[in-house]
Amino acid sequence: MSHGGGDHATEIYPEEQILAIGVGLSLIGCYLAHFLGAYGLSMLLGGLLAAGACVAGANTVRKVAAYGLGTGVPSIGMASLGMGTIAVLAGILIPKAFGISYLVAPILTLIISAIVGFILGKLTVNPVGMKIPIMVRSMTFLSIAGAMAILGFTVAYAGSLDPNVYINASVKSGIIALAFIAPGMAILHPFNACLGPNESHKRTLTLAVACGLLTWFIFSVVKLDLLSVVISIILWAIVYAKFVKMSFKDACAVLEVPEIPKKEE
Q: What is the pLDDT of residue 198?
A: 80
Mean pLDDT score, 20-35? 97
Q: Is the pLDDT of residue 264 over 60?
A: no
Cβ-contact 178, 215 below 8 angstroms:
no
State mean pLDDT over 165-177. Answer: 94
Q: Is the pLDDT of residue 188 over 80?
A: yes
Q: What does the alpha-carbon distance between residue 114 and residue 145 come to, in Å, rounded to a whole number?
A: 9
Check pLDDT > 60 for residue 17.
yes
Distance CA 212, CA 233 (A): 11
CA distances (Å), origin 220, targets 12, 44, 47, 85, 160: 32, 8, 8, 20, 16
pLDDT per residue as tens digits for the range 193-223: 888 778 889 999 999 999 999 999 999 999 9
Check pLDDT > 50 for residue 3.
Answer: no
The percentage of the chain sitting over the pLDDT mark of 90, rounded to a whole number, equals 66
Q: Check pLDDT > 50 for residue 5.
A: no
Confidence class for position 253, pLDDT limits 50, 70, 90: low
Average pLDDT of span 32-49: 96
Confidence at residue 69, expressed as pLDDT on a 0 to 100 scale = 61
Backbone phi and psi for residue 211, each to the nearest 5 degrees, phi listed first: -65, -40
- Identify whether the C-beta of residue 43 lies closer than 8 Å to the C-beta of residue 223: yes
Q: Is the pLDDT of residue 1 over 80?
A: no
Could you tell me what percent of the chain has a pLDDT over 70? 87
* Most confident segment among 53-67, 219-233, 249-263: 219-233
CA nearest to 29, candidates 152, 111, 209: 152
For residue 20, name the pLDDT band (cuts at 50, 70, 90).
very high
Burial of 111 from C-beta contacts in 10 A (0-12 / 13-18 / 19+): middle
For the stretch 127-152, pLDDT in tens is: 766 777 788 898 999 999 999 999 99
The per-residue pLDDT for 261 is: 61
Average pLDDT for residues 57-72, to the nearest whole number?
78
Averaged pLDDT for residues 79-104: 92
The pLDDT of residue 126 is above 90: no
DSSP annotation of 42 reads I
